[in-house]
């Protein structure tokens, strides 16, 4: 008896140590995983050190040793006049730094220490716009406006971009200008627009203000918008290129066309009375509706019926019954760990797919076709599993965990519970995390298809996507919760196992139908 007590004590100590190590490893792994997908944007802190990250940071370095000289203030006034029609003062922060002063000198030298070459030595004046530097009066005068507008475009959200097309005063001469930063003609148009008068006198003593909305056509988010304008205005395919200027009654394309005709269009009043556009971005067009939520609940519940997850839970119940443990408490602990693990895996995969789709956007259609074909392939395999299950030929079922992995799960769970002791709840939680990662190999196909579906309906990660994951996984957890309640009320594990086994053919049939539906939806999204 003494020997048995000692052995039990050693087991409990070992369990505590293993639990501590498990928690530590999980915490480290979780941190690294989140860091890898950008959930910890450390760069934000660096931006905050230099100013408001939501505003364009403009710093003008100049040299003045004269007490009465006002070089910096004079340039600020000139710059404000140059950009006042395109950007409001609350969208940027302006900093003046006289390099003659010691602090500004050290800042300038540190900022430019890696810019010097054999042919170039950095010297004031220098304009720094969010890290983009312009040197010399000519370079600053000609390019400052375009650089600032480019940075403005980067900071604008899709909602802000669309809002700039709405509620334009009828008396304003309004133009939408699509440009490409590296385009020579675009730069010439930028200079031309910046030097234009901002007010024009029309007939009948009417005065109109010039208002130009600058849109960087090289930004991927703006490509669909540019094509929408091309389609609406009937621009021939050979003229669908920057620089192009749209107004209420037409468009101008190319530097020469803009310079030759823009003043006359303003004076004639053709650019007045701008109407709000009805363009709907892809991300908003694909927003979640009630049918999408219903579909996610259905697929989540179907995924929760997976034999892999159910058999794992029933194995846990059989081991807990042998220990006379609290099935309800520990079953809920296991399901919670599974829920959190799948939530983490799903959000990481969603972020990864988001980045991959941005990188592979030129081959986006080909990638969608490939995913749709894979969905059809999975549907066929599940239909084959349906017929195998109907014949009780369970060895021929394709979508199931490999025998070695199932053996590992059993051994791991038995060893974990045997050494649980008073830390049984914690060990079950850790076991739920570890075993859920392995279960993902079995249930992950339908989960991945659901993630792809979410991305098609709501591209950008936001609270709606997070809520969709929560709803999906709650529905996925529902079958396991029902089994836990049945086991708590006295249902035999063997009876529950036979009940789920009897439903296996219909589960496989449902999986096949869902994969086929996913494939159809992907083709619909594609065209």
Choose among 176, 340, 145: nearest CA to 246.
176
By the 10 Å C-beta count (0-12 exposed, 13-18 middle, 19+ buried), 290 is classed as: exposed
Amino acid 504: pLDDT: 63
Q: What is the pLDDT tens value at each position of the chain, 527 positions in all?
A: 444 444 444 444 454 455 445 544 554 454 444 444 444 433 333 333 455 567 888 888 888 876 656 666 777 777 776 676 667 777 788 888 888 888 888 888 888 888 888 788 888 888 888 888 888 887 777 777 777 777 776 766 666 667 777 788 888 888 988 888 778 888 888 888 877 877 787 776 788 888 888 888 877 777 888 888 888 888 898 888 889 999 988 999 999 999 999 988 888 888 888 887 766 665 554 556 677 788 888 888 888 877 777 778 888 888 877 777 788 888 899 899 999 999 998 888 887 776 666 555 444 556 667 777 777 777 787 788 777 767 776 666 666 666 777 777 778 878 877 776 677 888 888 888 888 887 787 777 778 777 777 776 665 667 778 888 899 899 989 888 888 887 776 556 556 555 666 666 777 777 777 777 777 776 665 55
Torsion of CA 217, 220, 222, 224, to 10 degrees: 110
Q: Which helix (H) or strand (E) holds 341?
A: helix 327-359
Q: Are 65 and 100 in contact (CB under 8 A)?
A: yes
Strand order in the sheet with 207-216: 199-201, 207-216, 173-179, 244-247, 250-253
Q: Which two tokens stand for residue 415?
A: 């060893």
For 118, half-sphere exposure in the C-beta direction (CA atoms, 13 angstrom radius) is: 0
Amino acid 34: pLDDT: 44
Q: Are 127 and 96 in contact (CB under 8 A)?
A: no
Positions of CATH 3.40.30.10 in the chain: 47-155, 159-283
Is CATH 3.40.30.10 correct for 159-283? yes
CA distance 459 to 291: 17
Q: Strands (DSSP E) along 180-297, which ranges?
A: 199-201, 207-216, 244-247, 250-253
Q: Are 327 and 321 in contact (CB under 8 A)?
A: yes
- Which residues touch 325 (CB under 8 Å, ≥6 apart)? 424
Q: Which two tokens stand for residue 338?
A: 């599974």
Q: Is the dihedral of CA 251, 252, 258, 263 positive or negative?
A: negative
CA distance 334 to 344: 16
Amino acid 359: pLDDT: 53
Cα-only R_g, the chain: 32
Say which residue the tokens 């005068």 belong to: 141
420-427 contacts: CB < 8 A, separation 24 or more? 420/15, 421/8, 421/11, 421/12, 421/15, 421/16, 422/12, 423/12, 423/15, 423/16, 423/19, 424/325, 424/330, 425/329, 425/330, 425/333, 426/19, 426/23, 427/15, 427/18, 427/19
Termini Cα distance of the chain: 74
Q: Is the dihedral of CA 362, 363, 365, 371 positive or negative?
A: negative
CA distance 182 to 126: 21
Amino acid 69: pLDDT: 63
How many CB atoms within 10 Å of residue 99? 21
Phi-psi sector, 499: left (phi>0), alpha (psi -120 to 50), beta = alpha
Q: Which two tokens stand for residue 337?
A: 């760990």
Residue count of the chain, please give it.
527
For 47-155, which CATH class?
A: alpha beta
CA distance 527 to 519: 13
DSSP states of 485-516: HHHHTT--HHHHHHHHHHTHHHHHHHHHHHHH
Q: Are 63 and 136 in contact (CB under 8 A)?
A: no
CA distance 329 to 484: 9
Choose among 340, 297, 353: nearest CA to 436.
340
Phi and psi for 178 in degrees, rounded to 5?
A: -95, 130
CA distance 127 to 131: 9
Amino acid 396: pLDDT: 67
CA distance 221 to 198: 29
Say which residue the tokens 């003659």 belong to: 100
Torsion of CA 183, 185, 186, 192, to 10 degrees: 150
Q: How far is CA 252 from CA 29, 178, 350, in A?
A: 56, 11, 41
């Amino acid at each position: 008896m003494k020997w048995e007590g000692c052995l039990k004590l050693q087991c409990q100590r070992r369990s505590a140590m293993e639990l501590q190590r498990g928690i530590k490893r999980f915490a480290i792994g979780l941190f690294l995983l989140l860091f890898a997908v950008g959930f910890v944007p450390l760069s934000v802190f660096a931006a905050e050190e230099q100013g408001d990250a939501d505003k364009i940071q403009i710093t003008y370095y100049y040299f003045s040793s004269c007490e009465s000289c006002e070089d910096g203030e004079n340039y600020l006034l000139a710059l404000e006049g140059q950009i006042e029609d395109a950007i409001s003062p609350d969208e940027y922060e302006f900093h003046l730094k006289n390099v003659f002063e010691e602090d500004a000198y050290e800042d300038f030298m540190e900022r430019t220490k890696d810019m010097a070459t054999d042919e170039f030595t950095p010297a004031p004046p220098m304009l720094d716009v969010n890290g983009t530097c312009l040197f010399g009066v000519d370079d600053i005068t000609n390019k400052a406006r375009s650089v600032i507008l480019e940075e403005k475009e980067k900071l604008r959200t899709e909602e802000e971009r669309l809002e700039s097309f709405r509620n334009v005063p009828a008396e304003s001469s309004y133009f939408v200008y699509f440009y490409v930063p590296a385009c020579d003609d675009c730069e010439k148009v930028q200079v031309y627009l910046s030097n234009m008068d901002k007010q024009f006198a029309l007939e009948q003593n009417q005065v109109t203000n010039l208002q130009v909305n600058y849109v960087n056509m090289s930004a991927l988010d703006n490509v669909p918008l540019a094509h929408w304008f091309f389609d609406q205005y009937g621009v021939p395919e050979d003229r669908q290129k920057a620089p192009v200027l749209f107004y209420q009654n037409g468009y101008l394309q190319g530097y020469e066309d803009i310079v030759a005709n823009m003043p006359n269009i303003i004076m004639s009043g053709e650019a007045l009375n701008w109407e709000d556009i009805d363009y709907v971005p892809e991300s908003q067009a694909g927003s979640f509706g009630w049918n999408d939520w219903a579909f996610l609940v259905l697929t989540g519940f179907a995924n929760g019926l997976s034999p892999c997850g159910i058999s794992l839970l029933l194995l846990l119940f059989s081991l807990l019954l042998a220990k006379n443990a609290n099935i309800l408490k520990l079953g809920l602990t296991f399901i919670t760990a599974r829920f959190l693990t799948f939530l983490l895996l799903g959000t990481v995969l969603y972020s990864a797919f988001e980045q991959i789709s941005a990188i592979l956007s030129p081959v986006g259609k080909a990638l969608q076709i490939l995913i749709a074909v894979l969905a059809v392939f999975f549907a066929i395999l599940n239909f084959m599993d349906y017929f195998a299950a109907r014949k009780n030929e369970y060895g021929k079922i394709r979508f199931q965990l490999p025998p070695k992995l199932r053996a590992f799960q059993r051994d791991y769970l038995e060893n974990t519970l045997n050494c649980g002791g008073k830390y049984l709840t914690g060990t079950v939680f850790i076991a739920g995390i570890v075993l859920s990662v392995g279960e993902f190999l079995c249930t992950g196909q339908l989960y991945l298809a659901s993630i792809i579906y979410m991305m098609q309906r709501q591209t950008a990660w936001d609270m709606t996507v997070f809520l969709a994951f929560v709803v999906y996984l709650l529905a996925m957890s529902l079958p396991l919760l029902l089994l836990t309640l049945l086991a708590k009320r006295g249902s035999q594990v063997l009876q529950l196992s036979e009940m789920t086994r009897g439903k296996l053919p219909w589960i496989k049939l449902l999986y096949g139908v869902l994969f086929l539906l996913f494939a159809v939806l992907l083709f619909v999204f594609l065209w």
